[in-house]
Amino acid sequence: MRPGLLTLDFDGVVCDGVAEMVESAWRALKELAPPAPELTDELRTRFGALRPAIESGWEMVVLLGLLAGRHPSQDAALRHGRAWAEARDAYVASRGLTPSGIARTFDAVRDRWIAEDEQGWLSRHRFYPGVADWLARLVAEGQLVYILSTKSKQFLTALLAWQCPAFPRDRVIGRAEPRRDKWDVLRELAAAHGVAAPDVWFVEDRLATLLEMRERAPDFPARLFFAEWGYVFADVDVPAARAAGIPVLSLARATGPFERWSA
């Protein structure tokens, strides 16, 4: 059994870009809320541990700023959605910032970094083991596969050109303005390709997105899969996915035969 349409999230499913995220957040913080903290190994580690709390790119700048001003013993509280949202919003308000303004600066520092040192920017990323070869194999086999991400498309295409040049650029869907829900995009892709909803398979590492899709798009019963190797709180998200009846994929299973995905 194979999907009629396979759609993959990017960050946390295809690519681990935490090293780039924290450095881009630091560069943005230098412009938005100087002086920026020293980007120590400890701060990088703390940022990576809390990356699963983040939904949108601009929040990375806030997370780094928050961590720089807090004792590590307070980090665990930010794993909880409501506590993170309250701390995030308080940080933004206290500095007279806006999410849209942070997002523009965050994208701008990435653009400049790429323009000045593209190889350095690319090197801060790593595709998960076996994923680039898997994508190339799917394309060669004629599998209909898309990348669907809230990351800006120019960053997605640069990374795919680096690690998986065979991947078609017209099957890369990045951040839209205004923002669109992923299930609406999936619905449109299914209609465009004549694929029935149950034959649409969607792999995502953000459990809240999958649960929200089931709740808000019950008339579009795509098959949903949770990527346990991504940006997740493994002790919470994996059992929660299983309790919700969402198949949990390991990286080895995902890059293997489709028949094993629901085993």
Q: Measured between alpha carbons, how far is residue 58 from residues 97, 101, 154, 177, 247 in Å?
A: 11, 9, 17, 15, 30
Q: Which residues pair with 7 in a beta bridge?
A: 146, 202
As a whole number, mean pLDDT of residues 218-242 equals 97
Residue 155 clears pLDDT 70, i.e. is over it: yes
**Domain covering 5-16+127-260: architecture:** 3-Layer(aba) Sandwich (3.40)
Residue 13 clears pLDDT 70, i.e. is over it: yes
DSSP 64-81: HHHHHTS-GGGGGGGGSH
Q: For residue 1, name the pLDDT band (cuts at 50, 70, 90).
A: confident
Domain boundaries, given as residue ranges, for the chain: 5-16+127-260, 18-123
Q: Measured between alpha carbons, how far is residue 10 from residues 4, 24, 152, 218 in Å?
A: 19, 18, 11, 24
Q: What average pLDDT does the chain have?
A: 96
Q: Which residues contact 12 (CB under 8 A, 6 or more apart)?
A: 205, 206, 227, 230, 231, 232
As a whole number, mean pLDDT of residues 185-207 equals 98
For the ranges 82-86, 148-152, 174-178, 257-261, the lowest mean pLDDT is seen at 174-178
* pLDDT tens track for 52-68: 999 999 999 999 999 99
Q: Are 152 and 127 in contact (CB under 8 A)?
A: no
pTM: 0.95
Q: Are 147 and 171 in contact (CB under 8 A)?
A: yes
Give Cα 156 distance to the centre of its chain. 11
Number of helices (H) and strands (E) in the chain: give both, helices first.
11, 8
Q: For residue 178, name the pLDDT band (cuts at 50, 70, 90).
A: confident
Q: Are 43 and 225 in contact (CB under 8 A)?
A: no
Instruction: Please report the pLDDT score of residue 263 as a whole number.
Output: 60
Say how many Å lie between the first and final Cα of the chain, rounded.
12
- Distance between CA 112 and CA 117 in Å, rounded? 8
Q: For residue 14, name the pLDDT band (cuts at 50, 70, 90).
A: very high
Q: For residue 262, name the pLDDT band (cuts at 50, 70, 90).
A: confident
